[in-house]
Amino acid sequence: MNAKNGMLFVVAAPSGAGKTSLLKELSKKNNRVIISISHTTRKPRDGEIEGEDYFFVDEKSFKKLIEENHFLEHARVFGNHYGTSHSFVESQIQTGKKIILEIDWQGMQKIKAKGVEIIGIFILPPDYITLEERLINRQKDSSTTIKQRMDAALDEISHYKEFDFIVVNDKFDETVAKLNEIISDPKTDHNRRNSSHDDFISKIMAQRD
Ligand code: 5GP
């Protein structure tokens, strides 16, 4: 991939950290930002729009897309398949856009393994309780799925060291500003992962018990 002007970012977060709303706001504020739209075999949630939130496809079509080499990466998450379109990313990078992939840590690893340059940003909830409350308040998933997502959230958090930047989503507007600063100047040291995040994350993990 020839990232002449544009850049590729992964923004990952445990479910319930507020990632989707943050990125929607960021793309309104910065017109160079493009959020990649993945394909998924998951059923649409209430309010989700085809071609805006995801391209919703069935298992058979997803398999066909894999065979046609359509994906830069794809993974199975919570029993559903998700994939990032290679041609979409490539064409946007050529136009100098900042492409944000809303994918998980597995996806980022697969892209890095292909030798593609990508900057990882990890969004954290301010504490464990907030994470739990946001997941429950969402009420778009069954309680079994919420429990599954809570376990997966902690698992996702355990991969924070693989990311270049850590942003704690405490105050919405400030978090959007931090994300904008990182994508506008990826050489910035602000919010770059450092040893202070180790203590913060240990505290979140400890709140589980
Ligand atoms: P949700 O079903 O809540 O929209 O997403 C569930 C998880 O799948 C999230 O962690 C999200 O980042 C991840 N995900 C969404 N699209 C992709 C994708 O194209 N590739 C990968 N690897 N993960 C994705």
Per-residue pLDDT tens digits of the chain, which is 209 residues long:
444 568 999 999 987 788 889 999 999 999 999 999 999 999 999 999 999 999 999 999 999 999 999 999 999 988 999 999 999 998 889 898 999 999 988 899 999 999 999 999 999 988 888 888 877 776 566 667 777 778 888 888 999 999 999 999 999 999 999 999 999 999 999 999 999 899 889 888 887 65
Distances (CA, A) of 194 to 87, 124, 165, 179: 34, 14, 9, 17
Tokens of 69: 């080499």
Which phi and psi (to 5°) does residue 165 adopt? -125, 145
- Take atom 3 of ligand 1 and give the residue whose Cα is closest: 15
Interval between CA 104 and ligand 1 midpoint (Å): 6
Ligand 1 near 42 CB (within 6 A): yes
Ligand 1 near 36 CB (within 6 A): no
Q: Which of 104, 111, 145 to mutate to test the pocket of ligand 1 (most atoms within 8 A of CB)?
A: 104
Structural domains in the chain plus CATH codes: 7-206 (3.40.50.300)
Ligand 1 near 107 CB (within 6 A): yes
Tokens of 107: 């996806």
State the pLDDT at residue 61: 98
State the pLDDT at residue 150: 80
Does this model's pTM top 0.85? My answer is yes
Q: Which is nearest to 179 in space by CA: 4, 11, 39, 49?
A: 11
